[in-house]
Structure 1
Amino acid sequence: MPQLLTVRVERPDGRPIRIWVPVLPVVLVLSPVVVLALAVAAVACLVRGVSVVRAFSTGWRIVSALPGTRVHVEQGRTAVLATVR
């Protein structure tokens, strides 16, 4: 599971902004919403005829593969770099 999300915004004036977001505390705070989303996803899987276990295992594989992901977006003189550790 990812542990830390780092976001760096390079502004046009040259001063970067860095934000560190620990993933586990955010997930714990949002756990009621996560439980509700999982229940809705399970119902959607049953309605569409998709195996719930297979859908959740695939989702977990995607989340487990996130560490090491880097996303770099540039628009004009502003750039955003997001890194998952």
Structure 2
Amino acid sequence: VPVIPQLVTVCHRRADGRRRRLYVPVLPVVLVLSPLLLLAVLGGVVACLATRVSPVGALRGAGQVLWALPGTRFEFEQDRTAVLVSVR
């Protein structure tokens, strides 16, 4: 059964080798940013209508991406600096 992501972990390795971890709970962040989220959804609907894309289909696609996020890991590395983002 798919569930929405609950925790995002960001691990940053600095050039000197030290690591820093940041745990971000998704629900409180979404609640705090919900006014901006509402504006983003309205802007997306306007963009869909302007480009003749079905807003329902676009919303369904965005929902499928959201449901697929748990268990995803993003790793970025450049020189001696690395960033790992893990979605749980």
Question: What is the CA–CA distance in structure 2 between the aligned matches of 1:72 and 1:47, rounded to whole Å?
Answer: 35
Q: Give the aligned length.
A: 85
**CA–CA distance in structure 2, aligned partners of residues 45 and 36 of structure 1:** 14
Q: State the TM-score, normalized to the length of structure 1.
A: 0.94
The amino acid across from 2:41 in the alignment is L
Please, what is the CA RMSD of the aligned residues?
0.9
Tell me the residue number matched to 1:40. 43
Gaps of 5+ in 2: none
Moved over 4 A (4+): none
- State the match for 1:80 in structure 2: 83
2:77 is equivalent to residue 68 of structure 1: no
Instruction: Specify every segment of 5 or more residues in structure 1 that has no aligned partner in the other structure, as ranges.
Output: none
Alignment-derived partner of residue 27 in structure 2: 24
Residue type at the aligned position of 2:72: T
Q: CA deviation at 1:13?
A: 2.3
The 3-state SS of whatever aligns with 1:79 is strand
The Cα offsets for residues 7-39 of structure 1, whole Å up to 9 and x where unpaired, read as: 001122222100000011001000000000000
